[in-house]
Amino acid sequence: MKDRDRRLELLSLNVSDGIDPDWETLAEATGDESERKEIGDLRSLSLIAGFYRQRRREDRTAGVEPGTLWGHLEILEPVGQGSHAEVYRARDTQLNREVALKLIRGAGDRGAPPTLTLEGERLARVKHPNLVVIHGAESRGGDLGLWMEFIRGTTLHDLIQSQGPLSGREAILLGVDLCGALAALHAAGLLHRDIKAHNVMREEGGRVVLMDLGAGTDIDERTQSLSVSGTPLYMAPEILAGGSGDVRADIYSLGVLLFYAVTGKYPVWADTVDGLRRRHACGERRRLRDVRPNLPAAFVACVERAIAPDPGGRYASVGEMEQALSTASGIAASRGAGRAAVRGKADSTWRRIFSRRRTTIAALASGAAAVGIVLFLWPGLLVASHYTVDATLHRVADGAHAQLLPGARVSPGDRLYLEFEASRALHVYVLAEDDRGAAFLLFPLPGQATGNPLPGDMLHRLPPDLHGRRYTWGVSSAGGTEHLLIVASPDALTDFESTLAALPAPQVTGGASALPLDREALSGLRGIGHLLETEPSADPESARPAFSLARRLAGGPERNRGIWVRQIDLVNPGR
Amino acid sequence: MVEDRKPLAGAALPATEATITLVRRARDGDGQALEALCRRYLPRMQRWASGRLPGYARDLLATDDLVQDAFYQTVRHIGDLRAEREGAFQVYVRQTLLNRIRDQIRRPHVMRTLDALPEPDARRASPLEELVGQQTLERYETALARLKPEDREAVVARLEMAGTYEELAEVLGKPSADAARMAVGRALARLAKEMGHER
């Protein structure tokens, strides 16, 4: 693909994602007139998309207002939206507890089957620690509602997207938990039929929860002609081919889920459902051993058996699969106390996974130098998903304010500030570093009233005002290149913050990086261009933990979490 | 139940199959099926029409009635439904509605009334025309019509119906939200190239 086509596709994806890049800069960056016109047309498409997105948002807001009562449930906020159901965080006013309310509005007099009440009935039949707990289901005013425990956590899909595949052992323990949940469902005469990473939640405490039985059926119905439901990439080939499914179809889906958990890939993949069918028919598939060779052989064998194309080649029950997984992990699994022991171990392991994965970010800080990926494409092009950011660096000199572009020269005595605006509230971190690896945290600073998150849709000037006085960052030394790094994230980067905490943390008064505009106060204060009296590191990259971390945030799976990183390099050769 | 904003799959039937089944039933006179289709489609088509009707027409025509009437007529006269994807049905309804809007706003009684309205020129434009300009919107329509059906369905479902990627996976018959997203990206790139040919 030509570079121009690649740029066009990238920009088209931005339009589709609702990301509004700096159109003017993009148009100016190309010397090709026809490309400039294509960019202009994409901008028009972006406007059309934005118009209808806004209308849809307004419609949704008009749907159920926070504070609205649905029976005895008070709607607190929307938390999910599908093509058939809306999900709200709600409060049970009778029992005064938080619940999740899944609502199909106007469903009562539709021709469609009341899937939500069926889901409630199915789940109410089963109680298991790894299945979501249903509190009730009701039809009210033509709406169907199902309310259940509200789980604070993240989906397995999001976990893997943001933090990468699981280790073999993590996946084994995950599989043991899910086998337990499925065994309970199957024992109650139910099939799940939509096992996928989106439907597995990892609660903040580490508990694994299998959710969403909306596509499930009674096992007794399996001989009837079933329509295709669920998610095609996880579907057993016999289901995709239009056949009926039994417990082995759920086992197949669980095998796909474990394959995905350790690779981030699916064993059989295609762009369309027909393509999937063809690949199944031709036996085209990825082998787990080929995708990730270093997994325990017993685990690989277990997954490969679960996803055997022929149902007869799979485990006959999830109990059998659980046994195989437990053997693979070296855990002796058995019903009763044995299972509890396995589960206890799994839970604590998941808690450890969560803890370890959070600290992984900090551990990344020992790598190489940072580069803002924003600048790789076009100047000013935003890479963050689902929000836009406008960040510009300015210099104050003799009362005049001027924007500094990457590569601009700065000198001791210069006073700098950042203007930052985003379309949503973000946690913002600003760091400075010189060629010798001396790094300083510029924002947020301890003791400042203004901290994270910075509210969206308003212009912020950093450093923020303090006690009614306006501040800037001062350049107090000369030599080499200064690197200014700006990181923004919808969520607090707690582990990144612990890395930042290890950096020199200047005080606002007495040797601060934040300087009053009062020029006399400049002398003796540490600024972004301060030079340390140390020799340059033999490996300067290794001396930049925060920058190294930022590059990984920008280029690695963390990018999928919508973390925005930009580096601005300034030349500071001295006077 | 969840705090992430991902849609939760939860229907026994994918929207694709359910919609096409409902359309066939409605065409054969099943009133319940027609009502079910209306509940599913009218809000998004009304939203869509709100961007296409000029200001004066929005004053004179009850948008909801116009859309509902057009939708009823579309379903009842849809003929042999060969579409296997909901996206194809969506594009069909959208095009019928667009034709009907064009027809309605050309009617003499509307134009006569227009003369009495203040600032008629400004109110001739639809919100989308005001946003991107009449010529650009016309180039968009022409280019859209030239796309392959799959690309056209992807553009309409994402840009004009503001569907989520999860919804698009069902509407376009894609195996995942990611696949739907990539399909939209490619379709938009082709659309931009087609629009260039219309200059």
What is the arithmetic mean of pLDDT over B23-32? 82
**Together in a domain, A340 and A405:** no
Relative orientation angle of helices B15-27 and B63-76, to the nearest 10 degrees:
80
CB A557 within 8 A of CB A162: yes
pLDDT of residue A494: 77
Q: Between A38, A85, A115, which is nearest B193 by CB?
A: A38
> Is B14 within 8 Å of A228 when comparing Cβ atoms?
yes
What CA–CA distance (Å, rounded) separates A48 from B141?
A: 12
Best of B5, B6, B8, B155 to disrupt the A interface (most A CBs within 10 Å) is B8
> Is B35 within 8 Å of A115 when comparing Cβ atoms?
no
CATH of the domain at B137: 1.10.10
pLDDT of residue B161: 92
> Would B4 be classed as within a structural domain?
no
CB A432 within 8 A of CB A481: no
CATH of the domain at B54: 1.10.1740
Residue A274: pLDDT band (50, 70, 90) is: confident
Best of B1, B46, B144, B172 to disrupt the A interface (most A CBs within 10 Å) is B1
Q: What is the dihedral angle through the alpha carbons of B83, B84, B85, B88, rounded to the nearest 10 degrees?
A: -10
- Does residue A180 surpass a pLDDT of 70? yes
Chain B CB contacts of A218 under 8 Å are none
**Together in a domain, A556 and A505:** yes
**How many domains is chain B partitioned into structurally?**
2
**Together in a domain, B102 and B145:** no
Q: B155 to chain A: nearest residue by CA?
A: A16
Domain coverage including residue A26: 3-47
Higher pLDDT, A541 or A493: A493
**Together in a domain, B149 and B176:** yes
Q: Which residues contact A329 (CB under 8 A, 6 or more apart)?
A: A169, A172, A173, A176, A299
Higher pLDDT, A412 or B183: B183
What CA–CA distance (Å, rounded) separates A247 from A253?
A: 10
**Together in a domain, A233 and A347:** yes
> Would B60 be classed as within a structural domain?
yes
Higher pLDDT, A253 or A448: A253
What CA–CA distance (Å, rounded) separates A282 from A22?
A: 46
> Would A64 be classed as within a structural domain?
no
Calculate the average pLDDT of chain B.
76
pLDDT of residue A550: 58
**Together in a domain, A358 and A415:** no
Higher pLDDT, A383 or A236: A236
**How many domains is chain A partitioned into structurally?**
4
Q: What is the dihedral angle through the alpha carbons of A471, A475, A476, A480, rounded to the nearest 10 degrees?
A: 160
What is chain B's Cα-based Rg? 18
**Together in a domain, B85 and B144:** no
- Does residue A547 surpass a pLDDT of 80? no
User: Helix, strand or coil for residue A389?
Assistant: strand
Left, alpha or beta for A215 (phi > 0: left; psi -120 to 50: alpha)? alpha
Q: Between B10, B12, B17, which is nearest A102 by CB?
A: B10
Peptide bond into A444 cis (omega under 30): yes
> Is B196 within 8 Å of A227 when comparing Cβ atoms?
no
The values of phi and psi at residue A222, to 5°, are -65, -25
Residue B139: pLDDT band (50, 70, 90) is: very high
> Would A52 be classed as within a structural domain?
no
> Would A216 be classed as within a structural domain?
yes
Higher pLDDT, A80 or A349: A80
* ipTM for this model: 0.85
> Would A62 be classed as within a structural domain?
no
- Does residue B141 surpass a pLDDT of 90? yes
User: Helix, strand or coil for residue B120?
Assistant: helix
